[in-house]
Amino acid sequence: MDSSAKKILDKLKTKKFDPVYLLQGEETYYIDLISNYIEEHALSEPEKGFNQVIVYGKDASMATILTHARRFPMMAERQVVIVREAQDIPDLNKETGSKLLLDYLSKPSPTTVLVLCHKHKTLDKRRELGKKAEQLSVSATFKKPYDNQLSEFVLSYVKEKKYSIEDSAAQVLAEYVGNDLNRLTNEVDKILISHDAKDTITTTEVMAKVGISREYNIFELQKALINKDWMQAAKISNYFEANPKKNPVIPIVAFLYSFFSKVLAAHSVSDRTSQGLTSALKISPYASKDYLAALQRYPQPKALEIISLLRQADLKLKGVNSGSEDEGQILKELVFRLMV
């Protein structure tokens, strides 16, 4: 878990609520996690009717939001005002709206918990509001996690739910879903619904439940390319060509581009041990063995050529100089040229 989110949640769990929370950044998972916790736990169910207000930024001016914040709670210790999508408040970045918020932050109501969920970006720190807001509130900025942090996130999330998962299964799930933590936790939750808590979640189970073909999938294709297993690569390419709806080629090319870009970068790393590559490439220790194998089979000039081939294939798939080739043919030719 993100350290800033953990610090805030740990304090909230002791029933200590601050007057203003400014939650912002690209990673929306932690913004939702904290704001949802406050929504669920700051007030009892009977208190919520009169003392909990949830508004959306696009529907409320700053003056309206702060009018809610300045009200006194009714028959409760506090009231809660949660602003979802606060980045859409019409006058947030205008002089009038930002001044109103700064004035409030300087002297917030002690009986109100105001939560500003500013998603996908941060306040402009070139402006006075952006410079001072973090100092006048409990503030946290959440960035998208690095690829090497994702499998650890899955392991931690599953453990928190009182389940266990194989390291390889967590890695496959992380690579398949990517760094959208909301989607990643949703996929884990889907697996847990029908999983017996006493059994460890396996790679096979992950593949089956998130819709990855057990035998022919992008991970198997990547493995075949790393090992230069011509027969397996041909089988998978033929399968993808026969099932284009289940296996669109553009995401496959993007996935391989990401992998081989890191292989190319690995050639410039002085410490080419598992630990060295994990640190330099920001990958998981589990994935480092694939990069070590690829370094042996794909020298730097070939890695450079592969990057060029993947770019050419991407352009063809988007209609540039594609001629009469369909997606399947482009992929099969690409796989052949990657391995020669």
pLDDT in tens, 301-332: 999 999 999 999 999 888 887 667 788 889 99
Question: Considering the chain, what percentage of its residues have pLDDT values greater than 70?
Answer: 98
CATH 1.20.272.10 segments of the chain: 218-339
CATH 3.40.50.300 segments of the chain: 3-142
At 3 the pLDDT is 92
CA–CA dist 284, 179 (Å, integer): 13
Fold classification of 218-339 (topology level): Zinc Finger, Delta Prime; domain 3 (1.20.272)
CA–CA dist 115, 20 (Å, integer): 6
Instruction: Identify the residue whose tokens are 């000039």.
Output: 301
Question: Considering the chain, what percentage of its residues have pLDDT values greater than 90?
Answer: 67
- The pLDDT mean for the chain works out to 91
What are the pLDDT digits (tens) for 255-279?
899 999 999 999 999 998 998 998 8
What are the pLDDT digits (tens) for 217-240?
888 899 999 999 998 899 899 888
- Please identify every stretch of the chain with a pLDDT value under 50, giving residue numbers as ranges: none
Q: Is 261 exposed, middle or buried (0-12, 13-18, 19+ CB in 10 A)?
A: middle
At 214 the pLDDT is 55
- Pick 147-209's CATH classification: 1.10.8.60, 3.90.180.10, 1.10.3470.10, 3.40.190.10: 1.10.8.60
**Structurally, what CATH architecture does the domain formed by 3-142 represent?**
3-Layer(aba) Sandwich (3.40)
CATH 1.10.8.60 segments of the chain: 147-209
Using only C-alpha atoms, what is the Rg of the chain?
25
pTM of the model: 0.72
Dihedral over Cα of 199, 204, 205, 207: its sign:
positive
